[in-house]
């Protein structure tokens, strides 16, 4: 699809019509109960509002260079934006993911509707600068909305650069990441000595270690939190796929296990955004529904954990 000759508004109308993401088509994202917008949380450091369901790109956006390779991801991005999503997260360690996300977002005229996050993942300050320049080129994002130190690799050196670039206006927010429970204490130690805007960690109904120390700490310090691995790398969905959705799921406006699991994540008051990764437009639409409607209370959160681990 070539949208270069169209205005951004007209391009988005054509995308939405082609995908059935507006109106009453079979693929439409169902309207929120009461017509409300997706639940959003305020980024403490900037005051900017961020919808609670984002999009990861690990493996899913690492595709070839042909139009056929990338066409399904055009549908993913169109469905994501039309359904109310905003944050898309990538990394230079995700193969072609940055290049693919940047090329598609630019060609489809979506840059202004996305909050683009990526990471620096290398040793050495100068190497980090080169890598970040390359990421910004691939993502066609300068300034970039969020740059994170991936898995704390050479974290002190890179945070020094990130603070310099933030003051210069090249980066809007800075953060750090990790994806294992064993690394969360190291994350807290970094947060104790560095001021950042975001922290990204693994959190799900099956990986709840962050509830003990990291999430309360982030809330106390005014740090926005992104949850990676909201399905525990798919393990929770595999475990639940043969089970019927319980009647209580309707109490929180859920029609799938994916929505139930995502609502567990984003119903935590310290969470700002969950980033499930998918290359399937139908799964994007399903995931986005978790950002709408009623959220589980403490009792229902316990039931979700029981189901996920049972």
Residue 106 is assigned to a structural domain of this protein: yes
Residue 279 is assigned to a structural domain of this protein: yes
Residue 280 is assigned to a structural domain of this protein: yes
Q: CA angle, 274 as apex, 54 and 175 as ends, to 5°? A: 90
- What does the pLDDT average to over 220-229? 98
Query: For the chain, how many structural domains are there in total?
Result: 1
Residue 271 near residue 214, CB atoms below 8 Å: no
Residue 197 is assigned to a structural domain of this protein: yes
Residue 33 is assigned to a structural domain of this protein: no
Residue 10's pLDDT is: 40
- Note the pLDDT tens digit of each residue in 203-212: 999 999 999 9
Q: Which two tokens stand for residue 232?
A: 């525990």
Residue 6 is assigned to a structural domain of this protein: no
Residue 291 near residue 53, CB atoms below 8 Å: yes
- Note the pLDDT tens digit of each residue in 241-280: 999 999 999 999 999 999 999 999 999 999 999 999 999 9
Residue 250 is assigned to a structural domain of this protein: yes
d(CA 181, CA 235): 16
CATH at residue 103: 3.20.20.100
Say what the pTM is: 0.88
- Note the pLDDT tens digit of each residue in 81-129: 999 999 999 999 999 999 999 999 999 999 999 999 999 999 999 999 9
Residue given tokens 């691939």 in the structure block: 138
Burial call 195-234: b when 16+ CB within 10 Å, e when fewer: ebbbbbbbbbbbbbbbeeebbebbbeeebbbbbbbbbbbe
* Residue 142 dihedral angles phi and psi, to the nearest 5°: -145, 100
| Structural domain span for residue 125 | 39-309
Residue 139 is assigned to a structural domain of this protein: yes
Residue 234's pLDDT is: 93
Residue given tokens 């922290």 in the structure block: 199
- Note the pLDDT tens digit of each residue in 18-27: 333 333 233 3
């Amino acid at each position: 699809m070539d949208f270069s000759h169209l205005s951004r508004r007209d391009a988005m109308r054509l995308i939405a019509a082609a995908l059935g993401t507006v109106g009453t088509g079979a693929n439409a994202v169902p309207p929120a109960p009461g017509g409300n917008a997706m639940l959003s949380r305020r980024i403490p450091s900037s005051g900017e509002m961020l919808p609670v369901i984002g999009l990861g790109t690990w493996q899913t956006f690492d595709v070839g260079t042909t139009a056929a390779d990338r066409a399904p991801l055009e549908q993913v991005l169109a469905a994501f934006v039309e359904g109310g999503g905003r944050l898309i997260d990538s990394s230079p360690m995700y193969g072609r993911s940055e290049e693919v996300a940047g090329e598609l977002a630019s060609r489809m005229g979506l840059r202004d509707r996305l909050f683009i996050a990526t990471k620096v993942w290398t040793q050495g300050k100068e190497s980090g600068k080169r890598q970040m320049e390359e990421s910004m080129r691939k993502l066609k994002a300068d300034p970039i909305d969020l740059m994170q130190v991936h898995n704390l690799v050479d974290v002190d050196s890179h945070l020094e650069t990130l603070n310099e670039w933030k003051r210069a206006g090249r980066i809007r927010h800075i953060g750090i990441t990790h994806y294992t429970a064993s690394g969360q204490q190291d994350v807290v130690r970094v947060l104790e000595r560095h001021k950042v805007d975001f922290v990204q960690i693994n959190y799900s109904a099956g990986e709840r270690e962050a509830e003990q120390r990291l999430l309360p700490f982030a809330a106390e310090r005014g740090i926005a939190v992104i949850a990676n691995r909201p399905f525990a790398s798919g393990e929770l969905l595999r475990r639940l796929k043969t089970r019927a959705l319980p009647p209580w799921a309707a109490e929180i406006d859920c029609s799938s296990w994916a929505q139930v699991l995502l609502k567990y994540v984003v119903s935590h008051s310290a969470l700002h955004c969950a980033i499930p990764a998918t290359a399937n437009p139908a799964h994007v639409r399903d995931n986005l529904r978790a950002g709408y409607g009623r959220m589980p209370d403490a009792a229902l959160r316990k039931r979700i954990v029981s189901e996920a681990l049972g």
